[in-house]
Structure 1
Amino acid sequence: MRRVDSAVEAVYRYRRPDPACWDVVVDAVCSEASSYDADSALVQAGRAVTRHADRIAEDLRRQQGFFGTAVGHGVEVRALALAGMGDLRALPALHNLGEHGGLPTQRPQSRILAELPAEGLVPTMRTVLQKGSYRAEATLEVLSAWGPDAAPAVPEVTGFLDTEYAYDALRVLGRIGPAAAGTANRLTEFATGRAPRAGRHHPRRAAWAHWRVTGDPTLALDVCGAAVRSGTAGHGLPFLADLGPLAAAHADTVRGLMESPGAWTRVAAAHAYWRITGDPEPAVPVLLAEVDPAWAGNPAMPVQEAVRRLGEIGAPAATAASLLGWILAQEERLGHPFTGVRILADAAYVRTLTEALERIAPGAGGPVPAPSKELVPVPASARRRFLRFGRRV
């Protein structure tokens, strides 16, 4: 058991643990000598355990029993592990789990399901939504990740506009796009505040969703532009960013918000300004200032969002490449405050860093030097924090 505990500790702590540590975790789970932490690690492993896919699939069949219909914790662990690899052998078990209320209830774990093709799971997600709201939050999260491929679920998602999950439902409908055009009138009601469930955060997202499903930006520009001008900028900026050049009339207001005291607003404004104008020069320093190399995963800080937006800008954000490469090369995972999803959280950050670097400096590789003010130009507002970290390493 000590060997298993050490292996589990290693895969939770390190981004690139010795592959033998994952071997021990798989052995423990498949031999029933497991623990909650080992099970949780395997669920989060993703493609790190691809070489064990056949063994996990075989063990899943054993857990499901002779008729292949058994459900329970063991089935869920193995099915989610396969799903994280994108392995279609997870689908029958996931269908059964969906029928019997065994799918994840939390967003981080539910996102694992989005690694599978939507066509294989959308019917199950519809069944889950038809059963009520117990797993609605997690289910809507998955459907949102699939975007247009989630279109068959429009009737069930629309039903959740009348619940406390209306905000999530609005996002799903917007991500689905034109296939949800039949909901345009409902979206207008939310955007104008006439819907019974319309809260103070709903109008911007509903107006954005209306544009996405109808192709008409008028309502979105009006509602989201008014939000930005009124001081509730953080709730309108991401939608103006999606509108891009269509929101050109708001460019000056958005640029002014790049000096906001709120980090999330600064990042959202920098991204929106670049998307609206196509000018990366003012945006890159603002985004780079938020890429704290000491970030431990606290979701209150927009570090990952800043990295993602730098990656979208691409080559004009070349000043960020050295710092992002150095962060990516670190051995230890993020010390995420929700330790139960530490592997998932760090894997998402690694994926964001990797994709950003590939877009900023395609094919870049080789040793990554420690960051310094000479290697990575940063704005004065961030330099003190940056150099303070440099002395610690």
Structure 2
Amino acid sequence: MTGRDPAVQAVLRQRRPDPACWDAVVDAVCSEGPSYGAERVLVQAGPAVARHADRIARDLRRQQGLFGTAVGHGVGVRALALAGAGDLRALPALHRLAEHGGLPFNRPEARVMAGLPPAELTAVMLTKLRRDGNGYHGNTTALDLLALCGAAAAPAAGDVARRLDTPFAYDAMRVLGRIGPPAAATADRLAAYATARDHRSGGPYPRRAAWAHWKVTGDPTLALDVCGAAVRSGTASHGLPFLADLGPQAAVHAAPVRRLMESPGAWTRTYAAHAYWRITRDPEPAVPVLLAEVDPAWTGRPDVPVQEAVRRLGEIGAPAAAAVPLLRRILAREERLTQPWENVRILADRAYVRTLTEALARIAAGRAQQS
């Protein structure tokens, strides 16, 4: 198969397409002129086109010279393809795209850049934050990527903290919590949100603020109070992930968490099962709840917690061995997830495959340690 349209359809539909299909996609972008379909899948290719990195880098330089500009759609496609493959030659173009508004706006597509080292990615996202000001998509996307950088995002802490006064405060709290102690200067602001002293507090904000306060200060008291109250009050889904992160420190809340494993909401059941295991280290009640959410016919719909359940079964390890046959069967499927839009379908499916693979590896490692 060498035609570019059949090749595009093959890589969109098949988890393990013939490598010649990816060759045809690269040819379509680098040799045959503009092709929206081929460009759409090349951006998502990641390691699948790593062997073509030199060619893509050359074509990136050609695009910049051809149009006499450092930015533009063609430049973005090639730079993102290199970034997804972890190739540092993408960085100069990404910096210029960040300066001029050429980076992708939707979060799943922007996450291809997470293939780059966190420190370098932080610098690109910091440029994007400063350039986009109060823009919705620019802020949410940049903050999402900075959260993935963890402690390496510390140079952005000041700029992120300024988002606590904006509609992007919730995303900013996530970044600050992931940065940890280097963001300790924000502790008082986070405490104000967590305790409703800040008039903008409400909804899920207090829980995330309390969690971030714990992460930047090392003091779990506020997080235990605020997130535990959320679980007891019925707004559980906003408190359970943070109690899970607290682990055994949240032992006082184990009973209400366990009751929520019988919630009518699939996400709440999944979060509760994970939190209960993290708090008590007792897998017996958690594994059946999580396993029940692993639908082998899942198409990628984000409103059901299939991937989250797989991830948490992997975290439990050997006691989740009953999940192995099902996870192997799902992983062996040839067809990609079909529900996500085509511009993120390969990314979504690759993330699911990675989650399945890592879960199986962790369960196997746990069983090996037991033997």
TM-score surpassing 0.5? yes
Within the candidate set 313, 321, 325, 1:322 is matched to 325
Counterpart-to-counterpart distance in 2, 1:331 and 1:27: 24
Cα deviations across residues 122-143 of structure 1 (Å, max 9, x unaligned)?
A: 2232222122132011100100
Which residue of structure 1 lines up, in the alignment, with residue 189 of structure 2?
186
Counterpart-to-counterpart distance in 1, 2:233 and 2:365: 40
1:52 aligns with 2:55: no
Shift of residue 250 of structure 1?
A: 0.4
Counterpart-to-counterpart distance in 2, 1:88 and 1:32: 26
Higher helix share: 2
1:87 aligned partner, one-letter code? D
Higher mean C-alpha displacement, 222-231 vs 60-69: 60-69
2:348 aligned partner, one-letter code? A
Which residues of structure 2 form unaligned runs of 5+?
A: none
Cα deviations across residues 206-233 of structure 1 (Å, max 9, x unaligned)?
A: 0000000000000000000000000011
1:15 aligned partner, one-letter code? R
Which residue of structure 1 lines up, in the alignment, with residue 71 of structure 2?
71
Is the CA contact 1:69–1:93 (under 8 Å) kept in the aligned structure 2? Answer: no
Which residue of structure 2 lines up, in the alignment, with residue 119 of structure 1?
119
Cα deviations across residues 257-294 of structure 1 (Å, max 9, x unaligned)?
A: 10110000000000000000011111000000000000
Is the CA contact 2:177–2:215 (under 8 Å) kept in the aligned structure 1? Answer: yes
Counterpart-to-counterpart distance in 1, 2:248 and 2:232: 17
Which residue of structure 1 lines up, in the alignment, with residue 230 of structure 2?
227
Is the CA contact 1:280–1:313 (under 8 Å) kept in the aligned structure 2? Answer: yes
* Alpha carbons of structure 1 residues 149 and 329: separation in structure 2 relative to 1, 3 Å: same
Larger RCO (CA under 8 A, 6+ residues apart): 2
Shift of residue 339 of structure 1?
A: 2.8
Cα deviations across residues 88-108 of structure 1 (Å, max 9, x unaligned)?
A: 010010011011111111100
Which residue of structure 2 lines up, in the alignment, with residue 133 of structure 1?
134
Which residue of structure 1 lines up, in the alignment, with residue 29 of structure 2?
29
1:295 aligns with 2:298: yes
Matches within 5 A, 1:196-235: 196-235=199-238
Is the CA contact 2:318–2:366 (under 8 Å) kept in the aligned structure 1? Answer: no
Shift of residue 147 of structure 1?
A: 0.7
Q: What TM-score does the superposition give when structure 2 sets the normalisation length?
A: 0.95
Counterpart-to-counterpart distance in 1, 2:112 and 2:327: 25
Counterpart-to-counterpart distance in 1, 2:78 and 2:321: 41
Secondary structure (helix, strand or coil) at the match of 1:65 reads helix
Is the CA contact 2:119–2:149 (under 8 Å) kept in the aligned structure 1? Answer: no
1:266 aligns with 2:269: yes
Counterpart-to-counterpart distance in 2, 1:284 and 1:246: 21
> Identity across aligned pairs (percent)?
71
Counterpart-to-counterpart distance in 2, 1:255 and 1:178: 31
Counterpart-to-counterpart distance in 2, 1:110 and 1:250: 37
Within the candidate set 281, 286, 289, 1:283 is matched to 286
Within the candidate set 158, 168, 174, 1:165 is matched to 168
2:42 aligned partner, one-letter code? L
Counterpart-to-counterpart distance in 2, 1:159 and 1:358: 41
Q: What TM-score does the superposition give when structure 1 sets the normalisation length?
A: 0.90
Is the CA contact 2:2–2:21 (under 8 Å) kept in the aligned structure 1? Answer: no
Is the CA contact 1:264–1:301 (under 8 Å) kept in the aligned structure 2? Answer: yes
Counterpart-to-counterpart distance in 2, 1:63 and 1:133: 31
Within the candidate set 153, 156, 160, 2:159 is matched to 156
Secondary structure (helix, strand or coil) at the match of 1:306 reads helix
Which residue of structure 2 lines up, in the alignment, with residue 247 of structure 1?
250
Counterpart-to-counterpart distance in 1, 2:328 and 2:199: 49
Which residue of structure 2 lines up, in the alignment, with residue 361 of structure 1?
364
Counterpart-to-counterpart distance in 1, 2:248 and 2:343: 41
Is the CA contact 2:340–2:348 (under 8 Å) kept in the aligned structure 1? Answer: no
Cα deviations across residues 24-63 of structure 1 (Å, max 9, x unaligned)?
A: 0000000143321210100000001111111001111111
Is the CA contact 2:80–2:112 (under 8 Å) kept in the aligned structure 1? Answer: yes
Which residues of structure 1 form unaligned runs of 5+?
A: 365-393
Matches within 5 A, 1:327-366: 327-362=330-365
Cα deviations across residues 182-202 of structure 1 (Å, max 9, x unaligned)?
A: 000000011011224323110
Is the CA contact 2:97–2:103 (under 8 Å) kept in the aligned structure 1? Answer: yes
Counterpart-to-counterpart distance in 2, 1:353 and 1:121: 26
Is the CA contact 2:232–2:256 (under 8 Å) kept in the aligned structure 1? Answer: yes
Is the CA contact 1:267–1:286 (under 8 Å) kept in the aligned structure 2? Answer: yes
Cα deviations across residues 216-255 of structure 1 (Å, max 9, x unaligned)?
A: 0000000000000000111100000000000000001111
Counterpart-to-counterpart distance in 1, 2:264 and 2:151: 36
Secondary structure (helix, strand or coil) at the match of 2:180 reads helix
Matches within 5 A, 1:73-92: 73-92=73-92
Counterpart-to-counterpart distance in 1, 2:49 and 2:258: 45
Counterpart-to-counterpart distance in 1, 2:313 and 2:254: 19
Is the CA contact 1:238–1:272 (under 8 Å) kept in the aligned structure 2? Answer: yes
Shift of residue 110 of structure 1?
A: 1.4
